[in-house]
Each structure stands twice: as structure tokens, then as C-alpha cells.
Structure 1
Amino acid sequence: MNFRDNLIESEAGIERVVKASKRVAVLGIKTEQQAGQPALYVPEYLVRAGVEVVPVPVYYPDVTHILGKPVFRRLVDIPGEVDLVDVFRRPQDIDAHVDDIIAKKPKAVWFQSGIRNAAAAEKLAQAGIQVVQDRCLMVDHRRYGSR
């Protein structure tokens, strides 16, 4: 299989990723104090929609729970499998997380709206992980998740 097949851009591919994502680790999640920011209201929406969200904040070292769920500092520390890693990081900050993502082996990684990192996406795709770039998971979940 060509690794490019893991770079998901078609609507059918997006729909498959959304429907397969029952447990989502949110890398770069914000806390309730940042309620107006996408990195909190998107995972809040997912929780309301019945998705299991695992918070992985990058900052806020004193925070132990977000959205009532225990936080993890690294993806590899999360027990069990993760279907999707939803990434709220600036494109240039993603590279620092690639090895952690690959070590966790999620089925897919989702770079939120406005986030593209071709080198990181290619490395993840070559590791057998599907990658969606520059899309809002909340928008696509509303479109495909409830069908």
C-alpha cells in the first residue's frame, strides 16, 4: 500500500475516519478557563455527541482533569487504544509530537482547521496512520457522525 493512501482528503475518507472515531485523544486541549476557544469547545461538543474524549493538554501542568476526565501528558501514557488523535497545535509545534503519536498507534490523526504540516503528515502516513489536515472535526462530525 502506498503511504499516500493514508493522506485522507476525499469526503468518503473523511466520513470513514469520523464514523470510526469512538475514542479521541485531544492533543493541545485547553481548560474550561478557555471556554471560548476551539481547543475546548470542539472536545466539549464531541463529549456531548457521545465520543469518549481523552484530554492531553500541552500546557496547564497543574490541571488534573478537563471536562471531568483525567488528563494525560503524553499519548503513550493513555491506557487502551485510541481511534483518533485530534491535534490543536500550531503547524511548527506538531513535529515535537510525531514520535509520541506513532508510538501510540492511533488509527488516524486529525489536524484541526488551519493546521497543515506536510512533513509530519507524511511521516505519520508512512507509519500506517491515516491523516486528515486542515479540517474541523466538529463540523465533519456534525455532517457524518450521527448517520
Structure 2
Amino acid sequence: MDEGMDEEQRIRGILAESKTIAVVGLSARTDRPSHEVAQYLQAHGYRILPVNPAYAGTHILGHPCHASLTEANAAIRKEGGRIDVVDCFRKSAEVGAAVDEAIAIGARAVWMQLGVVDDAAAARAEKAGLAVVMDKCIKIEHMQLR
């Protein structure tokens, strides 16, 4: 991403230019932060693609849940769409695999939720041309920029 761009501008750009957000680790449980965040994003016009192998084959927030980003990407490509943002609700120690998959499918951005930090994965994503946001909640950032 543009080196001269500050983080707020980068976040504003990601949120403004994105339509489809794959939520890795999205829970069907309404009391979980991932569900609350995805529901908020959906209410604000974003298309949500649930990604969670534990719920694969079910529906979350009215959309089929996929076992992997690769599977979610294949499904949206069939419709002529693409995944803009991969929002990661994974532990820091586990997020690298999701970031690598986001790079492989050609997502535009990777968003690591509050408390999720993996500098090496972020560096890989940036080197591959993806915008990266780390250790921030996409819902909180969206609310602050509205």
C-alpha cells in the first residue's frame, strides 16, 4: 500500500472501497464478538462471507458458511465477485495461515482484529500488495469514521 498514507487514510480507503468481507472465525453464536461485528458490517451494507470449518455447510447471518477462504473465494468468483477484505478472528499464533490464504486468493486487504498481532504475516501480506490493518476492530474503526 502507499507508504505516504497514514493509518487512518488507509483504513478509510479499505472501508470505502470494499463490498465483500470474508470473516474468518465467524461464530454462529450471537454472543461472540465475531458475530456482533459481522452483523454490524452487514447492517452497514457489506456482504459477509462466513468462514469457519466448525460451521461449514450451515448458514450464518443468512449466508452459507465456508470451510476455508479458498472455498469462499471460489463461491463468490462463480457470481463474478471477489473478496475485498479478510477479517481475521483468529488467535495471533494461528492468524498466519489465514493471511497466507488471503494472499493466495488475491484479497485486497487483511484485517487482524483487536488483540491479533503477527508482524511476519503482516509483512508477507504487504509484500504481496495487500493493505494490512492489525490489532484494530473493524466495527470500532467504521463507527469512528462515519
Query: Which category describes the TM-score, using the shorter chain as reference length?
Result: 0.7 to 0.9
The structure whose RCO (Cα within 8 Å, separation 6+) is larger is 1
- Evaluate the alpha carbon distance shift between residue 105 and residue 99 of structure 1 in structure 2; reply closer, same or farther with a 3 A threshold: same
Counterpart AA for 2:39: E
Does the Cα contact within 8 Å between 2:55 and 2:66 map onto a contact in 1? no
- Evaluate the alpha carbon distance shift between residue 26 and residue 68 of structure 1 in structure 2; reply closer, same or farther with a 3 A threshold: same
Q: How does 1:31-46 map to 2 (within 5 A)?
A: 31=28, 34-46=29-41
Mapped partners of 1:59, 1:128: distance in 2: 30
Counterpart AA for 1:45: Y
Counterpart AA for 1:43: A
Deviation at 1:100?
A: 1.5
Count matched residues.
Answer: 139
Structure 1 outlier segments of 4+, above 6 Å = none
TM-score by length of 1: 0.86
Deviation at 1:124?
A: 0.9
Counterpart AA for 1:91: S
Structure-2 residue corresponding to 1:53: 48
Q: 1:19 aligns with which of 4, 8, 16?
A: 16
Does the Cα contact within 8 Å between 2:85 and 2:110 map onto a contact in 1? yes
The one-character-per-residue Cα deviations of 1:99-134 (angstroms, maximum 9, x if unpaired) are: 311111111010011111001100111111110001
Structure-1 residue corresponding to 2:117: 116
Over aligned residues, Cα RMSD in angstroms? 2.0
Is 1:76 matched up with 2:70?
yes
Mapped partners of 1:103, 1:111: distance in 2: 17
